[in-house]
Structure 1
Amino acid sequence: MSLETKLILCPVNLRHAKVEYNAYTEAVEMAERRGAKLIVATVAPEMERNLNIRDSDAYWGEQLRKFLKDHPAPGVEVEAVVRKGAVHRQIVKLASERKVDLIVMESANPKVKDYLLGTNASHVVTHAKCSVYVVRT
């Protein structure tokens, strides 16, 4: 039985987007090859540490739009999504709600080089109902 990939989810951590976005690059290439739509999502914290951020949804939505403008995906339909909460839970929830075929994500925080999988990737791999492609950072 052949599995078709129509919808790919790629979560990006915008706090580290200037350092690492290998998973995003891989997700764009996969979406292009497979003719799939790409959902690029970021998860904002429930409570911002930065008191200057008054409207978290608007702030992170704008940051995500800037990221997508700086890293275009020609030939790929891209949807930007901002969620709030625990990163690993929101990724799994979004994938389930949207019936995503594949999640493409980074393995860990760029500063944590000692672990194969970070806690977010580990949780997503364990709990997602779809395939998960983990890009080693």
Structure 2
Amino acid sequence: MPMTVKTILCPVNIRHVVESTNAFDEALEMAKRHKAKLIVASVAPEFERNLNILDPAEYWGKELDKFISRNSSGDVEVERVVKKGAVHREIVRLAAAKSVDVIVMEAANPKVQDYLLGTTASHVVAHARCSVYVVRS
């Protein structure tokens, strides 16, 4: 029996969004097919490396708003969320808090250190209570 999808979470790394929007594009199409709500989220770092950014959550929230407006969602309901902290943990927490049915996220091609240290995608796959669809960039 097919899975019922009402809420989709798509974490977006705003720093790398110029390089690829594959996961967002896939999440948007999935939301259209299922008539589901799409939560587009970004996680701001606890400590911003760029000292010109005084409020990382506010700054990255504005950048996320720009990203969403550039990538039209059509008739899909989109909720924008910015969290602050460790990316892998915040994605899992947000998915649980919002009762997400599926997470659609991007993962770069693996390197040796990814197998030893773990990646954001592998942590989310291992710890999320919902399905996780990983899109290769």
Q: Shorter-normalised TM-score: what interval?
A: over 0.9
For the residue of structure 1 that corresponds to 2:81, the secondary structure is strand
Partner of 1:65: 65
Distance 1:119 1:73 in 2: 28
Partner of 1:103: 103
Q: CA RMSD in A?
A: 1.6
Amino acid at match of 2:31: A
Q: Is there any run of 5+ residues in structure 2 with no aligned partner, and where?
A: none
For the residue of structure 1 that corresponds to 2:92, the secondary structure is helix
Distance 2:87 2:110 in 1: 19
Distance 1:2 1:30 in 2: 13
Distance 1:135 1:57 in 2: 26
For the residue of structure 2 that corresponds to 1:133, the secondary structure is strand
Partner of 2:5: 5
Partner of 2:78: 78
Partner of 1:17: 17
Amino acid at match of 2:45: P
Any runs of at least 4 consecutive aligned residues in structure 1 with deviations exceeding 6 A, and if so which? 115-118
For the residue of structure 1 that corresponds to 2:5, the secondary structure is coil
Distance 1:134 1:2 in 2: 19
Q: Is there any run of 5+ residues in structure 1 with no aligned partner, and where?
A: none
Number of matched pairs = 134
For the residue of structure 1 that corresponds to 2:63, the secondary structure is helix
1:3 Cα deviation from its structure 2 partner: 2.5
